Structure 1
């Protein structure tokens, strides 16, 4: 009888201990362990991060960081941290959190448009993925890479077709530029290549001309007309005489691309620069900015007309007045000069 009581006590004690252990395991593994009110929070784990860094990032998001660490050790995550962007959803338990951090690297949308220089592009991209702007700029300016992809120092910006692309946040600078080279090749499909050839241009020349069109007018519906005008000038062997190229030349010459120039002066037209299309015939050596796709498509699908001149339309701001003859252009130009003088815009 005494032995039976002892055995019963041992069994009951075991059940109590087992219950306590199960409760502890449940709390550590299966009970919710988030402390934020939003539906989800995001964690960005850098390529050189260890578990200490991960723990520091997730601690503000958790009710109990100690149980998180226990489960991380049991699941082998402590020694197997993976870089990337990860989501922790409200109400997740430690097991789910660790599983998410191990396997659910979330892509990010990387977008860019209208960057004037390769340095501007590097800064824009650095704000969206892990590499910093200096690392990206070094990769973009790598002479071997530029040459291997068929570009020059002057045309390298043309490789980056503005759009929105899906990347993993921890994509490195070399992977990013390689992806952009592939996107460039994909963009220049047979149809676009044939259209470029029909205009007597190669893809880099199309992008260069598109950068002038882009800078001349922000009105997408006017871009095919402007593109047609510049193509008319090229075919006639005329100087393009594009003010944006002079502005770019002035900025490049001063090594200050933050320079604000609202008015091109006659003295500026004398600047000796291959980008000065008042002085040098044909296209400039490369794009003066990153044109968006609407400007590129405007060059590939230009409006057919006989216009050779244009000037800002002060009666319909943002648009231009077009002319077929210099005499007509000079009449249009008078109104613009009167307006800009009235605004006292001297530079």
Structure 2
């Protein structure tokens, strides 16, 4: 009887071990099975997510089957290194199988999307760009510029100039306001740094005036090494009580009426931004200035220049007197005519 019992016990044990090995093999095969996913698919893991909840979530998204979802908690028990899910938003792109996906959820490496704000652009342009950003919660669509400024804690009604040009990373499903807050905080920091490091005796009374002039310098040249020279021209004009006479301010004052051309009547139109008409600086910045332009205004070159005009190479020719400037303008006109004839 004992021998029969031992044979029976051994047979049962063999079945159990065989079944266990089979189950173990099946679970490990499931770990290696390719996922059903799209390249632009994100998974939000909430704090305290259990393996059962995760299984249901992956099944509802069509990433694993119902049967695979029922087995996932056993996989996590079998592989405790997969059990420490970290809250966040995760991308599935380049994740090949369930094992890699579980390891990814344990890594805490959230997906980061990027939004690039270019220097010299206006808030209107940036706002449109922000509204089209992928996987960003649009909470500001019905807000006016003044309302957004209030949400940022800004005392001014206009946001022009107050946001720093940069590439901003964000997690999918975060709010658009969060991106603007970081851009505003960075610009505040950069402006404060430029103001504290400013040269002596600048004809600028406040950091805001520095921000306004930096936006003009930003619009006048895209050549980095020229910025301190361009800034010096405007500083010299302000010191001598001359009008700034800069076309970008005229364009900004024209708003949507600007069609790519500035006419004589536009230069004499009395808008708040027309520096051919008004004295000193316009009331607000006219674009988003970079840190480079803030530095240029903070530490302008010491030059005798009061004028500049395009030189045909992307840069400018600087002049001390009106006669020199007029000759430089004629040279530019000839260069422009030549360039146009070569294109025909």
Cα deviation code 1:309-345 (max 9, x no counterpart)? 222224xx2122222222222222233345556749x
Task: Work out the CA distance in 2 between the residues paired with 1:90 and 1:330.
Answer: 64
The match for 1:113 is 118
Does the CA contact (< 8 Å) of 2:275 and 2:281 recur in 1? yes
Scaled by the length of structure 2, the TM-score of the pair is: 0.76
Q: 1:190-249, CA deviations, whole angstroms, 9 ceiling, x for partnerless residues?
A: 564341775224333222212221221211111111110011111111111101111222
Q: Cα 1:307–1:115, aligned 2, differ >3 Å: closer, same or farther?
A: closer
Partner of 2:189: 186
Residues 115-264 of structure 1 mapped to structure 2, 5 A cutoff: 116-126=121-131, 130-131=135-136, 135-136=139-140, 141-143=145-147, 145-146=149-150, 149-154=153-158, 156-190=159-193, 192-195=195-198, 198-199=201-202, 200-250=204-254, 252=255, 254=257, 260-261=259-260, 263-264=261-262
- Match of 1:32? 32
Residue 19 of structure 1 deviates from its aligned partner by: 2.1
* TM-superposition CA deviations, 1:33-73 (whole Å, max 9, x none): 3369xxxx67434799x9788657673xxxx6456533556
Conservation of the 8 A alpha-carbon contact between 1:322 and 1:329: yes
**Residue 83 to residue 15, structure 1, CA distance change in 2 (3 Å):** closer
What SS does structure 2 have at the residue aligned with 1:286? coil
Which residue of 2 is the match for residue 321 of structure 1?
317
CA contact 1:249–1:275 (8 Å) conserved in 2:
yes
SS at match of 2:160: helix
| Structure 2: runs of 5 or more not aligned | 47-52
Shift of 1:287: 1.9
Partner of 2:42: 44
Pick the aligned partner of 1:15 from 7, 14, 17: 17
- Take 2:248 and 2:68, find their aligned partners in 1: how far apart are those partners? 58
What are the superposed Cα offsets for residues 128-170 of structure 1, whole Å, 9 maximum, x if unpaired?
A: 56325x534556825274386344233x132211123443333
Deviates more, 1:189-198 or 1:14-23: 189-198
Distance in 2 (CA, whole Å) between partners of 1:89 and 1:215 is 42
CA distance in 1, matches of 2:44, 2:24: 36
**How do 1:299-310 and structure 2 match up within 5 A?**
299-310=297-308
What is the number of equivalent residue pairs in this alignment? Answer: 320
Name the structure 2 match of 1:335: 331
Of 172-181 and 335-344, the range deviating more from structure 2: 335-344
Aligned-partner Cα distance in 2 for 1:249–1:121: 18
Cα-to-partner distance string for 1:283-306 (whole Å, 9 max, x where unaligned): 112222222222222111211112
C-alpha spacing 1:58/1:114, structure 2 compared with 1 (3 Å): farther
Q: Secondary structure at the match of 1:164?
A: strand
Per the TM alignment, residue 276 of structure 1 is displaced from its structure 2 partner at its CA by 1.0
What TM-score, normalized to structure 1?
0.76
Structure 2 equivalent of residue 84 of structure 1: 89
User: C-alpha distance in 2, partners of 1:137/1:206?
Assistant: 30
Matches of 2:286 and 2:200 in 1, distance apart?
Answer: 22
> For residue 109 of structure 2, what is the aligned residue in structure 1?
104
The alpha-carbon distance between structure 1 residues 281 and 253, as it changes in their structure 2 partners (threshold 3 A), is: farther
Q: Rate the CA distance shift 1:101–1:276 in 2: closer, same or farther, 3 A.
A: same
**C-alpha displacement of 1:278:** 0.8
The CA RMSD over aligned residues, in Å, is 3.7
Q: Residues 115 and 55 of structure 1: is their aligned pair in 2 closer, same or farther, counting only changes over 3 Å?
A: farther
